[in-house]
Amino acid sequence: MAATPVRVAIIGGGIIGCLSAWRLKQLGMQPVIVERGQLGRESSWAGAGILCPIQPWLYPDDFTRLVDASLAMFPGLQQELSVLTGISPEWLQSGLMIPFFPDDAVDHRQAALDWSQRFGWQVRELDAVQARHHEPLLAGDTSGALVWPEVAQVRNPRLLAAVHAVLEKEQVEIIEQAEVSGLIDAAGRVAGVELADGRAIHADAVLLAAGSWSGGFAESIGISLPVKPVKGQIVLLKGEPGALTHIVKHDRAYFVPRADGRILVGASMEMVGFRTGNTVAEVQAMLNALTRLLPGLADTSIEQQWMGFRPGSPDGLPFIGPVHECPGLWVASGHYRNGVALAPITAHIISRWMAGTPPELDMSRFLPGRTVLDSAKIGFPAQAAA
Ligand SMILES: Cc1cc2nc3c(=O)[nH]c(=O)nc-3n(C[C@H](O)[C@H](O)[C@H](O)COP(=O)(O)OP(=O)(O)OC[C@H]3O[C@@H](n4cnc5c(N)ncnc54)[C@H](O)[C@@H]3O)c2cc1C
């Protein structure tokens, strides 16, 4: 007789919760996603979809190993989703360029080259002429650039639409417009979740994947999980296809060209709690960076703007694994600026782990309850707003 599938209540229907649900289902378990709003409409929708950490050389090596394992899964995921749902997440190896300018505040060139060589990331060093040959719209005083031709991107809303479609196809239970307010306890073990409207969802285990809200939820049940919202604003331009071909990243700004000519301009880094909305100052700063670096795009139309809350951990590293002081509770959260890039490996590891197979990678740096590293450069922005 087949073993009874284990029912897992997942708090949060972002990319982490949704992909984990799918993988749990594939392992024969019974996931139920409980989402306060609509599936995949928070950070996972808002993000830029760059599949490479911003300045990965600033992170510990274990993080790069996690990233590498995750990025290797994207071609397969793209294929799987496209075949099963007919929706392509538009995984595209557009390449990443970091141009250099005479007035650069920090020179990351050597650190970037060393890191690339150590981890086998293909990188090319370009002089000024070559850089402008690759991206003709770059400002005239570009002194050179580094290019990683294999770096890819996805379109977040399409990735989420595909994952949503596959969850429906696989008949994964999804409860939307339902806020989890607490956990059900049965003799010292988590036995499901309580909803704000009074309903109870019984389960054998609970996965906390509530993005930026995970920290507050954990605190409400007496657990320390230092995940805080780091707001990011984005402006969407409607350009000509091919005007920009690489993801261009410089200092605090980045520009992400989609295949249809749209260009994402991002992204602010703000500690303002859950204050929503786009602001004059941050949008202006991003557009100033655009016209400084790519002046040829100054006449491009603005189509839309939005914002989201990155689930920030103080050292930029996610929390993935069981919560020892609360048997039956698991966490997959705090992915900060890399939650889309890390979603495939997070879902793979957490689903198998919950099903009884320990991770192949060393996860000690990512465990809930771990020591948080002192790395202000990649963690929360220093300025906490009033
Ligand atoms: C502007 C911006 C740019 C970004 N760019 C990139 C990038 O280029 N590459 C990259 O990899 N990452 C990027 N990120 C980060 C990435 O988007 C996140 O790390 C990732 O989406 C986190 O996914 P998540 O599922 O943990 O959180 P979310 O997508 O926020 O999902 C959490 C869900 O939990 C729900 N929830 C919360 N509390 C409860 C509750 N009590 N009960 C029920 N449901 C609840 C929320 O409604 C939400 O839907 C960016 C983020 C932003 C904002």
Predicted local confidence at residue 2, as pLDDT:
46
- pLDDT category at 383 given cuts 50, 70, 90 is low
Strand intervals (E) in the chain: 7-11, 30-34, 96-100, 124-127, 144-148, 173-175, 180-186, 189-195, 200-202, 205-208, 228-238, 247-250, 253-257, 262-266, 301-312, 319-322, 329-333
Q: pLDDT tens, 161-183?
A: 999 999 999 999 999 999 999 99
**CB neighbours of 338 closer than 8 A, spacing ≥ 6?**
53, 67, 316, 318
Cβ–Cβ under 8 Å, residues 355 and 349: no
Q: Categorise residue 222: left if φ over 0, alpha if ψ from -120 to 50, beta otherwise.
A: left
Q: Which of 310, 320, 331, 346 to mutate to test the pocket of ligand 1 (most atoms within 8 A of CB)?
A: 310
- pLDDT category at 110 given cuts 50, 70, 90 is very high
Q: pLDDT tens, 35-55?
A: 999 999 999 999 999 999 999
Domains and CATH numbers, the chain: 7-85+156-227+314-366 (3.50.50.60), 96-152+229-312 (3.30.9.10)
Top pLDDT among 67 and 379 is at: 67
Predicted local confidence at residue 384, as pLDDT:
46
Q: What residue has token string 């520009």? A: 255
pLDDT value at 237 more than 50: yes
Q: Which of 43, 214, 227 to mutate to test the pocket of ligand 1 (most atoms within 8 A of CB)?
A: 43
Residue nearest atom 4 in ligand 1 by C-alpha distance: 47
What is the rounded (10 degree) CA torsion for 199, 202, 207, 212?
10
Q: pLDDT tens, 340-366?
A: 999 999 999 999 999 999 999 999 999
Q: Which of 38, 42, 151, 219 to mutate to test the pocket of ligand 1 (most atoms within 8 A of CB)?
A: 42
Average pLDDT, integer, range 68-96 = 97
Q: How far is the CA of 129 from the centre of ligand 1 (A)?
A: 39
Q: How far is the CA of 216 from the centre of ligand 1 (A)?
A: 15
Residues of 100-128 as b/e, b for ≥16 C-beta within 10 angstroms?
bbeeeeeebeeebeebbeeeebebeebeb
Q: How far is the CA of 340 from the centre of ligand 1 (A)?
A: 8
What is the rounded (10 degree) CA torsion for 8, 19, 47, 178?
-30
Average pLDDT, integer, range 259-283 = 97
Helices (H), 27-136: 43-46, 61-71, 74-85, 109-119, 128-134
Q: For residues 295 and 302, what is the distance between their CA atoms, to the nearest angstrom?
A: 15
**CB neighbours of 178 closer than 8 A, spacing ≥ 6?**
34, 35, 36, 195, 196, 197, 199
Q: pLDDT tens, 112-125?
A: 999 999 999 999 99
Predicted local confidence at residue 5, as pLDDT:
59
Q: pLDDT tens, 1-25?
A: 445 559 999 999 999 999 999 999 9
Query: Mean pLDDT, the chain, as a whole number?
Result: 95
pLDDT value at 385 more than 70: no
pLDDT value at 273 more than 90: yes
**Paired residues of 33 in beta bridges:** 10, 174
Predicted local confidence at residue 379, as pLDDT:
79
Residue nearest atom 3 in ligand 1 by C-alpha distance: 47
Q: What is the distance, to the nearest Å, from the Cα of residue 104 to the centroid of all Cα atoms in its chain?
A: 27
Q: What residue has token string 């040829």? A: 296
Of 187, 215, 183, whose CA–CA distance to 202 is shortest? 183
Predicted local confidence at residue 265, as pLDDT:
98
Q: pLDDT tens, 284-333?
A: 999 999 999 999 999 999 999 999 999 999 999 999 999 999 999 999 99
- Residue 72 φ then ψ, to 5°: -65, -20
Residue nearest atom 1 in ligand 1 by C-alpha distance: 232
The share of the chain scoring above pLDDT 70, in percent, equals 97
Q: For residues 296 and 126, what is the distance between their CA atoms, to the nearest angstrom?
A: 20
Quick check: pTM over 0.75?
Answer: yes
Q: Which of 33, 44, 193 to mutate to test the pocket of ligand 1 (most atoms within 8 A of CB)?
A: 44
Q: pLDDT tens, 220-233?
A: 999 999 999 999 99
pLDDT value at 219 more than 90: yes
pLDDT value at 126 more than 50: yes
| Site residues for ligand 1, CB cut-off 6 Å | 11-17, 34-37, 42-44, 46-50, 179-180, 209-213, 217, 232, 234, 266-267, 308, 310-311, 333, 335-341
